[in-house]
Amino acid sequence: MSLRNKTAFITGASRGIGKAIALRLAKEGVNIVVAAKSVRENEKLGGTIFTAAAEIEGAGGRALAVPCDIRDEAMIQDAVAKTAAAFGGIDIVINNASAIALTKTGETKTNRFDLMHDINVRGTFLVVKNCLPYLTRSPHAHILTLSPPVNLNPKWLGNHIAYTMSKYNMTMMAQGWAEELKQVPVASNALWPKTTIDTAAVRNLLGGETLANMSRTTDIVADAAYYILKESPAECTGHSFIDEDVLRKNGITNFDHYAVKKDVSLYTDLFLD
């Protein structure tokens, strides 16, 4: 299925994985809505909705930069309305925006707990809720949520329960929407990388340059997202995908070019045993 002239509403698309997915889809002729709260550049994180939109347009795509903090439903509604006015509807929703804190219970600040659940859980839910009237009218509707398979190995619960709960909730919503919307049909799937990905979060919050060098680039997740989104919504729904598996299914078995550093052992991502 061609994605040309479809419209993708991507949260957190000003940088990292969200921007990589935006650029990949733009190459296929998808209209991209950069929905994120970054209107001024953060020195540590880099990028704004405007610089991301400029990159997309520089690559030949059509982009709409919309300020959107998904904790604020009024901002979501405004972003959705501007998307519909610009492009006529919404075919694809990418739930990429997320907050992280890998802390145990006693070390988790209450405001950080609230932030993760307000963005990862409540925000994701409200984005889909407000995009749904347009998704249900699309002939090729997809929801793709960047969240992991639900793995009940105790180590993933014991090491950072607050963050784990929020990410597993995202996956549970993805699975729930697959069931709820399968007759429309609106596809809903989750996607997670096999290895850590070189993003600002990895460099600034998790493992610095050492972990970044043991990671892959955002391109591998972007390519996997493309292959999922071009599938028939009626036939490709209810899955918790791993990027490597998606690429293998599509005939790609050599992942060397995705590595940040050649001949370095890659670090398996969270929630994967």
Instruction: Examine the residue annotation and report whether 163 is marked as an active-site residue of this protein.
Output: yes
Distances (CA, A) of 67 to 2, 16, 57, 70, 127: 29, 17, 18, 10, 14
Tell me what pLDDT residue 205 has. Answer: 75
Quickly state the pLDDT bin for 273 (edges 50, 70, 90).
very high
pLDDT recorded at residue 14: 95
Global pTM reads 0.97
Among the listed residues 163, 168, 226, 258, the single catalytic one is 163
The per-residue pLDDT for range 139-162, each reduced to its tens digit, is 999 999 999 999 999 999 999 999
Domains of the chain: 7-194+218-251 (3.40.50.720)
Rounded to 10°, the helix 73-87/124-135 angle is 30
User: Mind listing the pLDDT tens digit for each residue in 11-34?
Assistant: 999 999 999 999 999 999 999 999
Written as one string, the DSSP assignment of 228-262 is HHTS-TTTS-S-EEEHHHHHHHTT----GGGBSST
Mean pLDDT of the chain: 96
The set of residues, in sequence order, having a beta carbon less than 8 Å from that of 8 and lying 6+ positions away, is 22, 25, 30, 31, 32, 33, 90, 91, 92, 93, 94, 229
Q: Is the pLDDT of residue 196 over 70?
A: yes
Residue 46 has pLDDT above 80, yes or no: no
Confidence of residue 44 (pLDDT cuts 50, 70, 90): low
Token pair for 30: 């998808």
Please give the pLDDT value at position 18: 97
Instruction: Tell me how many degrees the CA angle 150-15-126 measures, rounded to the nearest 5.
Output: 55
Q: Please give the share of the chain, as a percent, with pLDDT higher than 90.
A: 91
pLDDT-derived band at 59, boundaries 50, 70, 90: confident
Query: 193 pLDDT exceeds 90?
Result: yes
Higher pLDDT, 252 or 203: 252
pLDDT band for position 206 (cuts 50, 70, 90) = confident
Inter-helix orientation angle 49-58/16-27, to 10°: 30
d(CA 127, CA 154): 31
Which pLDDT belongs to residue 43?
Answer: 65
